Amino acid sequence: MLWVLGFILSFCGLFIWLEFGTMFPRSGGEKVYLEAVYTKPKYFVTVIFAMNAILLGFTANGCIVCTGCGLSACY
C-alpha cells in the first residue's frame, strides 16, 4: 500500500515539474523558477544556491569518513 502512495506522490511531483518546465523553458532547473518568484534583491537565489553547495556539498564525504573512522576504532 505504501508503494502505491509513493507512486501517486511521485506523479504529483512530476506534474508540478512539468508545469514549471513549460512555463519557463530555460535550462537551469530549480534556480530558474526561484529567480522568477524572488526577483529582488538581485542575485538572491544565486547566492543562496552557491552557499548551499559550498556549505552542504561536502556533507556526504564527511559522513563517510566519520563512519569509517568510527568503525575502524571499534574493530
Domain count, the chain: 2
Domain membership of residue 49 as a residue range: 38-75
Cα separation, 27 vs 43, whole angstroms: 17
Domain-embedded: residue 19: yes
If asked whether residues 46 and 75 sit together in one domain, one would say yes
Q: Give the cell for residue 21.
A: 518546465
Q: Give the cell for residue 5.
A: 502512495
Domain-embedded: residue 32: no
Q: Which residues, in sequence order, are CB contacts of 33 under 8 Å at separation 6+?
A: 20, 24
If asked whether residues 46 and 66 sit together in one domain, one would say yes
Examine the pLDDT at 26 and tell me if it is beyond 80: no
If asked whether residues 47 and 20 sit together in one domain, one would say no
pTM tops 0.75, yes or no: no
Domain-embedded: residue 33: no
Nearest one of 44, 41, 20, 43 to 30, comparing CA atoms: 20
pLDDT, one tens digit per residue, over 43-70 is 888 888 888 878 777 777 778 888 888 8
Q: 49 phi and psi, to 5 degrees?
A: -65, -40
